[in-house]
Amino acid sequence: MFVNTIDLANKVNAKLDFTLNEKGLSTKDIKSHPEVIEDLLENEIEISSNSMEKTGCSGVYLILDATINPALPDGKGSKAGIYIKGPRSRSLPRGAFFLWS
């Protein structure tokens, strides 16, 4: 399981870097470009859910050190992210996931 976790982290990092590079940005630029956060998280949903299905893990989360609305009073401490939880019931179809963002 540990190797699968490292593999998933590497895939997520590579995809984040690729997406940011396409936009001429780096990971350090995310805080000053909140408009890219939604695209970044959407791209990770497919990778994460596929990895969950292959490994049978119970959930995946990704947190970015950035927020979509940094102008809010507590915006500097806010984080953007996703949490995908696999089904608890074995009666649900394979590949059925719950997503919180």
List pLDDT tens digits, range 73-92: 887 788 888 888 876 545 55
List pLDDT tens digits, range 43-67: 888 888 888 777 777 788 888 888 8
Angle between helices 37-55 and 2-22 (to 10 degrees): 150
Return the ∠ at Cα 58 (arms to 54 and 38), rounded to 5°. 85
Confidence of residue 101 (pLDDT cuts 50, 70, 90): very low
List pLDDT tens digits, range 6-20: 888 888 889 889 999
CA distance 99 to 88: 13
Gyration radius of the chain over CA positions: 15
Q: Domain map of the chain by residue range?
A: 2-100
